[in-house]
Amino acid sequence: MRMPTRVYRLRADAERYGWLGVKRTEMRPLALILEGNSILDRWVPPVVNRIVDDELPQGELGDYPFLDGAPALSKRSVDALLDMLSDSAELLPLVCDVGEYYVLNVTRIVDALDEAASELTRFESSGRVMEVVRHVFVSERLTGYTVFKIPQTPRAPVFVTEVFRRRVLAVGLRGFQFDLVWEEGTS
């Protein structure tokens, strides 16, 4: 029996694990430059450091630390997940004095959102999607993908399937948070 397809929004567990921050102030926020396109050929690794602030968690950084709203992976994460990432994303190195980290730039855009069945908020001026309030996916369009973005919201979020989630849990990676946004058969 086939397991139903599940799609999760991938987030950093910013409540329990430490944060990284970009040192250079002249750089645009990382989340704004990750639009689903390759940028490896023009990537200049920014210097990042651990953010020390009484208002933020000061525990370990984990394998998926919060970084300027962008997905970041530790070397340990890259080693454990590389086979799932190699055809869907590029790993952009960071200069960091507390470990080896990479920005995960997801370049796999999958047109799998069922817009008619989903709940969307649109910009009045252009009709473009501002936000997807409730996701409904066409499961057949997700076959073979474990990490992806959707064309309606290419800057964020990053979506992953159950296969990815299970790998993260099986190898004991820390700092990943998975918010279930859709399960096949629950539309």
Tokens of 182: 């859709």
Run of H or E residues at 4? none
Confidence at residue 69, expressed as pLDDT on a 0 to 100 scale = 81
Nearest residue to 177 via CA among 61, 27, 55, 16: 16
Tokens of 3: 């397991």
Q: How confident is the model at residue 3 (pLDDT cuts 50, 70, 90)?
A: low
Residue 48 lies in a domain: yes
Residue 185 lies in a domain: no
Residue 179 lies in a domain: no
What average pLDDT does range 138-158 have in this prediction?
93
Rounded Cα distance between 61 and 45, Å, is 19
Residue 1 lies in a domain: no
CB-CB contact of 131 with 113 (8 Å)? no
Residue 32 lies in a domain: yes
Q: How confident is the model at residue 26 (pLDDT cuts 50, 70, 90)?
A: low
Q: Which residue has the tokens 């910013």?
A: 14
Q: pTM of this prediction?
A: 0.91
Report the domain count for the chain.
1
31-49 pLDDT per residue, tens? 778 999 999 999 999 999 8
Q: How confident is the model at residue 127 (pLDDT cuts 50, 70, 90)?
A: confident
Residue 45 lies in a domain: yes
Residue 180 lies in a domain: no
Confidence at residue 173, expressed as pLDDT on a 0 to 100 scale = 98
Task: Flag whether pLDDT at 91 surpasses 70.
Answer: yes
CB-CB contact of 1 with 159 (8 Å)? no
Residue 44's domain comprises: 6-170
Confidence at residue 150, expressed as pLDDT on a 0 to 100 scale = 97
Task: Flag whether pLDDT at 58 surpasses 80.
Answer: no
CB-CB contact of 39 with 28 (8 Å)? no
Confidence at residue 37, expressed as pLDDT on a 0 to 100 scale = 94
Dihedral over Cα of 11, 22, 132, 106: its sign? negative
Residue 139 lies in a domain: yes
What average pLDDT does range 121-140 have in this prediction?
93
